[in-house]
Structure 1
Amino acid sequence: MNKITTPKGILTYGDIEGNAYYTNTFTSAKIENATTLINVRYNTYTDTVEILKDGSIYVLPKNEKYSKISYANSPEVLVYLNSGEMEGYYFELVPGKYRLLKKLKAEFRPEVPAVNTFTSSVAAKFENLNPVYYFEINNQFVKVPKNMKDLLQEFIEKKSEIEAFVKANKLKTNQEGDLIRLAKFINN
């Protein structure tokens, strides 16, 4: 589970720089349809939720039965979606009719050996990519564009109210806090 096969052999996560997990430690969480709190951690590289039970690590099945994971000591909620292109785990930043979601992803970068004596080799590493945000609008998921004007085109029903709110608060699509404020405003 914590190994990657490369042309040079098998590497464990401990041999690789960076982090494949949202948090390295297991955190207590309530999983939908489970009766007790369970220790979990989210692997952003494999897009899986790992469970620690009796000293062994298991992978939570990806299905609707266990589609919501609420962390016990924080307001974070991880949801599983299986809707066309939106398959996998997403953090639900704002629930409601216009739900705001965040996708985290880590990519594996293999070791790059030195080409000559003037360059140094680069170790294998996990690289955390920038988060991608989505709004759920009329049961469709819309990736948040770079331009606020483009995003506002998606909210036809309340467009003038939302435009005034965005302008008054100088909101930007590249700021998570701004997107959360916008989602809360739209859902009221």
Structure 2
Amino acid sequence: MKTFLTFFLFVFSFSGLKAQDFQSHELSQFWSDLQTIKMLEGPDAISYKGTPYIYESSQAHIVLTNGQVIQPLTMRYNVHSDVMEVEKEGVFYTVPKEKHFPVISLNDHQFRLEVYQVASKRQLGYFEVLVQDSACSLFLKHSVLLTAAEEPKPYQDAKPAEFKKQEPNIYLSSNGGALYQVRNLKDVVELLGTHQQALETYAKKHKIKFRKIEDVKELVEYFNTL
């Protein structure tokens, strides 16, 4: 709760909102606490190629659980670390990964903080929303890998560590539950549990391919009409 309050005050300090309900000493304490989550730009002892970031926007906004919208903000998504960052005076700060900040929009890309299943464990992460429906929702989990640096070899220069963007993974949520990754039609049918014949017939007729995100979106939208 403390992290939520301090970050909330921080966002108030440079958004168009007012914060009359909070005392000034709380704001001072916030700036002190914030140092532990600050992310600075600038020279680094390690050289990297590529970038862990996508969708930086100066017109971003955060939607709180009570529906309050905080905007405009300059934000970006650090895919490699799976964190959202917000900028103030040239410095980026990490948005607390808490339920109080469930929706973040970066231009036309809406992200939600969702619970998802990985093997036998459940985790919390950011997903881009493609279809939002009470029956079945479709999400993308973006991925950026960091490859290790390589020492110089005979006839080969040293290679710096490099951030490499990967193809996003496709996740579905059934009836508002946890998100599960789907790789093929079998995964979809098993997760949704209903309308198996209709889904298989539609996928065959329309030649749905799971390597094409638009195809999967079409299949999900069809399922939501059944």
Structure 2 counterpart of 1:94 = 131
User: In the alignment, what sits opposite 2:196?
Assistant: 159
Name the counterpart of 1:85: 122
Instruction: Read off the aligned partner of 2:52 and give its amino acid letter.
Output: A
Q: Distance in 2 between matches of 1:123 and 1:35?
A: 38
Distance 1:35 1:118, change over 3 A: closer
Tell me, in whole angstroms, the C-alpha distance in 1 between the residues paired with 2:224 and 2:141.
21
Code of the aligned partner of 2:129: E
Q: Percent same amino acid at aligned positions?
A: 23
Counterpart among 107, 113, 119 of residue 145 in structure 2: 107
Contact 1:26 1:52 in 2 (8 A): no
Matches within 5 A, 1:1-188: 1=39, 10-11=45-46, 15-23=47-55, 25-33=56-64, 34-71=69-106, 73-74=107-108, 76-82=109-115, 84-97=121-134, 98-115=136-153, 117-138=154-175, 139-145=177-183, 147-188=184-225
Secondary structure of the structure 2 residue equivalent to 1:26: strand
SS of the residue aligned with 2:100? helix
Q: TM-score, normalised by structure 2?
A: 0.69
Q: Give distance in 1, aligned partners of 2:123 and 2:215.
A: 23
Q: Is the 8 A contact 2:115 2:178 kept in 1?
A: no
Shift of 1:20: 0.7
The two structures have a TM-score, normalised by structure 1, of: 0.82
Larger proportion of helix: 2
Counterpart CA distance in 1 for 2:219 and 2:196 is 12
C-alpha distance 20-2 of structure 1, shift in aligned 2 (>3 A): farther
- For 2:169 and 2:112, the matched residues in 1 are separated by 15
Aligned residues: 175
Q: Deviations over 1:41-63 (max 9, x none)?
A: 00011111111123332111110
Structure 1 unaligned residues grouped into runs of 5+: 4-8
Deviations 1:82-126 (A, max 9, x none): 4552411111111112111111121222210123x2333222111
For the structure 1 residues 143 and 82, does the alpha-carbon distance in structure 2 shift closer, same or farther, using more than 3 Å as the test?
closer
Which 4+ runs in 1 deviate beyond 3 A? none
Query: Aligned AA for 1:57?
Result: F
**1:140 and 1:126 mapped to 2: Cα distance?**
29
RMSD value, Cα: 2.1
Kindly tell me: are residues 31 and 110 of structure 1, through their superposed partners in 2, closer, same or farther at Cα, counting changes over 3 Å? same
